[in-house]
Structure 1
């Protein structure tokens, strides 16, 4: 028979919450994790007064009665949100005269599993919604072209133009979904290629200059004055880092396209690159790129959610401009892969600044 002292030491060695219930239903032992979760007062109390949730209490009563391993859920609501635990109920030790065992209760935090499942459901629902709208439009136009507009040349040309636009929208969505999936699968693999970020930004400006001219916008490129050349060597080496060139190009193409779309016609969009010493978790030198527009700005309420999948400040306007609602989610995952940070600052009526901070090493 295991000694009481050894049993107590074993419970304390378990990092997750764990309780030892006597055959009479008292909490004989609780490890430090269980006391943190349920309170320091629980030892010596009835399990019913400690746990309280009927579904869990019922499963414990069943385990006392039949001596079988069981499982239940415990839900806790705290200031930080709702936490859900899976509770495994295991009979231990010899039975008493009535055939009842002591019970061990082992708590596993499964909140992240529930959140992942909710995210999966939301994602599937969002994708279905995003595809249903253009598909419904295309099917409706096909039906019209086969029926009332069969011989109407002008209507046919107009409808075919709309159908082409909706097909392009679906193609962009599928392309972004594939890109997001690819980026997420690589997120834990930090890239190791040598990349000149200054050259990447110049490539972005060259690629988007025709789009900027269409909106009478100016694309400006600035190198922030700094003294990194004194520390890091020749100026050409200052903005080199370990990264994935194609993905970094995707980040700044996306941010710059957004700045052109929402910055307003005839305004200037600036890409500014600079260097500074990292702070906090980002030690050593970091490269900082600001994408600055002069648009209407973003309500502060929206900023924390901008990188969520399919989140849009103005859904109708975003769709009209060809947005899929996935661009900033892709940007976030690419920056995470590079162990960087994305900072968004905006004031309504004064434009927005999207700042990408990337470690050089």
Structure 2
């Protein structure tokens, strides 16, 4: 065995190197899983090499695993896994498989699955003698999706592995929806600009008054596209850094004071007074200073947009257990309860037409949500029709020096 380890030492080094390389760009959980996987590879590789060497020199193969060994082997799988005998009777199932199918030992495999796609995959593997893979919808609870792999084993047995890909499917749907929504949001101002250009090249070619008005509208649409692209890029950057928690102790009180001084003139131009309430002795927070300015900017800008003209907007910060809570409150029309859970979705608008007229991109609260989550904080939206809206976020306090 020592000779084999020496011969294949480069392969072991490669596996060990993968552990270090895999850490870049992964979160803690993903990195831990990679370490475990590579560790298992390092542990199992000598045995696999020894088996191949034994086969090369004509040594007898090991006897098939017993039932107890089958059960232990299946527990290596994080997802559901079954082993069926040559007569298609289930002889072993791990805990995940029992959660999915119930107690199935001794049952006919075809009755256990009861899924046309799974049965077709089973027959495909049996007829070809090779692995067969298929994605299955409608197996298990509603909304769950699995990738089934059927792999032949010795003595006609079969290994079936059901990998839950529900989260992957959901992410794919979100990505597709995001692309569709972003395309729509960009297409609308582009169509408007194209229409104005066509008019200026045709009927209004010599109309100075129309030219001036249309150029102003085109500038507004171009500015809207710029805001949308800026928000899309901002959201992308935030999501890339989401797993990296800010570690700089930051004076939130100073940020609120500086921010309010820059925003007061904008509020006054829209008929709003920005009132600031700061509790004394606020603790420092672990935060990204620029992102906190962005959160406050999005929330206060929304309050200026949707608050009734002439009403004040409140920006308050107070100490809570374990950290600080910041609230922005307007005195606008309020939001119906059914809309509140969806306000942080990308491109979701209570009143799409009004939001676009007021220059909104539909991404402001989505950006706020992702920034707060990156800071390991909590976002809360409270609103009542006719009585305005309050948006609060909490941040954990920095550890004491």
TM-score, normalised relative to structure 2 = 0.81
Specify the alignment match of 2:92 in structure 1. 29
Q: CA deviation at 1:13?
A: 4.1
Partner Cα separation in structure 1 for residue 356 and residue 247 of structure 2: 36
Q: CA deviation at 1:76?
A: 4.1
Specify the alignment match of 2:263 in structure 1. 208
Specify the alignment match of 1:120 in structure 2. 175
Q: CA deviation at 1:78?
A: 6.4
Partner Cα separation in structure 2 for residue 141 and residue 210 of structure 1: 33
Gaps of 5+ in 1: 95-100, 230-234, 278-284
Q: CA deviation at 1:77?
A: 6.4
Specify the alignment match of 1:84 in structure 2. 145
Ranked by relative contact order (alpha carbons within 8 Å, sequence separation 6 or more), the top structure is 1
C-alpha RMSD over aligned residues: 1.5
Specify the alignment match of 2:48 in structure 1. none
Selected match of 1:266 from 268, 286, 310: 310
Q: Given that residues 100 and 140 in structure 2 are in contact (C-alpha distance below 8 angstroms), is that contact kept between their aligned partners in structure 1?
A: no
The C-alpha deviation readout for 1:150-196, integer Å capped at 9, x for no partner, is 11011000100110000000010011111111111111111122321
Partner Cα separation in structure 1 for residue 357 and residue 256 of structure 2: 27
Partner Cα separation in structure 2 for residue 53 and residue 255 of structure 1: 49
Secondary structure at the aligned position of 2:315 is classed as strand
Q: CA deviation at 1:66?
A: 2.2
Partner Cα separation in structure 1 for residue 84 and residue 357 of structure 2: 62
Selected match of 1:248 from 271, 275, 292: 292
Gaps of 5+ in 2: 1-62
Secondary structure at the aligned position of 2:143 is classed as strand
Partner Cα separation in structure 2 for residue 239 and residue 251 of structure 1: 19
Q: Are positions 1:60 and 2:122 aligned together?
A: yes
Q: Given that residues 285 and 323 in structure 2 are in contact (C-alpha distance below 8 angstroms), is that contact kept between their aligned partners in structure 1?
A: no
Q: CA deviation at 1:67?
A: 1.2
Number of matched pairs: 335
Relative to its length, the structure with more strand (as a share) is 1
The C-alpha deviation readout for 1:207-257, integer Å capped at 9, x for no partner, is 221221122211101124xxxx7xxxxx3xx24212111110000110011
Partner Cα separation in structure 2 for residue 73 and residue 169 of structure 1: 41
Q: Given that residues 23 and 64 in structure 1 are in contact (C-alpha distance below 8 angstroms), is that contact kept between their aligned partners in structure 2?
A: no
TM-score, normalised relative to structure 1 = 0.89
Runs ≥4 residues deviating over 6 A: none
Specify the alignment match of 1:315 in structure 2. 352
The C-alpha deviation readout for 1:300-325, integer Å capped at 9, x for no partner, is 11111111110111100100010000
Relative to its length, the structure with more helix (as a share) is 2
